[in-house]
Amino acid sequence: MPGDNKGVRTVQTMLASKKPGSNDSSKDSTKEKPSKQNKRSHSDVANESVEGIDLTGIQNDLSEIKKSLEGTVTKTDLNSAMVNLVQQKDLKTLVSNIVQKLLNHFEEKITSKFECKIREATGKLDDKLDTLMIENEDLRERIRAKDRVIENLVEKVGDNNNRSIDALKLANYNEQYSRKHNIRMLNFPEKRGENLKKAFVELVNSDLNVNIEPSDVLAIHRIPGKEHYRKMLSSRLKN
């Protein structure tokens, strides 16, 4: 420190100025050399040097050194600073632990809520899925029943189609067969209030020389035609 260096320089300077063998002492020594019998010991030299030091200057230097050290950091200050640093570190660790615990608690709470919501939604979806599966199975059963009905109807339609074909063939045959016993006459005399069956029987007996009875005539009627023309007569006889 500046004060400390200054005090050291002053003491060294003063000690150096009073050392034996300096300028004055060297001059005296050159003028007069003591004999070997009168040579001084180291303790004598040290005592003479101490006596020659200016004590007032040393005290001033020490005062300046003390003043310069008053603004410096003491051991107590260092200990206090270390304690504060330790406390700040502990506080930081404590705050970090608290924040971490809060985050963990918040995360657990959020996770629990999400899991609860997911379970509820999954349960509802499972219920709906079960309902849909039941309805789907019911629809499948209905479709299978409809398929069986359709198969039966197809069989019946095919059978009816075959029967219709057979009936049509039979009807054509009957029509062709029935025509063998039908007689149609053109220009048959037409009278008001006529009895077609009686007139027909008389005509056949007299003109065709075929003896028939009125009971042999199963049906007889006129077929409508053009106006002012005689209507055709159609009759059906027994075999």
Q: Which tokens in the block code for residue 101?
A: 């615990």
Q: Which tokens in the block code for residue 82?
A: 């270390």
Give exposure, 101-120, as e/b (b: 16+ Cβ within 10 Å).
eeeeeeeeeeeeeeeeeeee
Q: Choose among 202, 203, 213: nearest CA to 237.
A: 213
In this prediction the pTM is 0.32
Instruction: State the burial class of residue 49 (Cβ atoms within 10 Å of its Cβ: 0-12, 13-18, 19+).
Output: middle
- CA–CA distance, 32 with 34 (Å, rounded to integer): 6
Helix (H) or strand (E) holding 234: strand 232-237
In order along its 239 residues, the chain shows pLDDT tens digits of 444 444 444 444 444 444 444 444 444 444 444 444 455 555 555 555 545 555 677 777 777 777 766 666 566 766 676 666 666 777 778 778 888 888 988 888 898 888 999 999 999 999 999 999 999 999 999 999 999 999 999 999 999 999 999 888 888 877 776 666 777 778 888 888 888 888 888 888 888 888 888 888 888 888 887 777 778 888 887 76
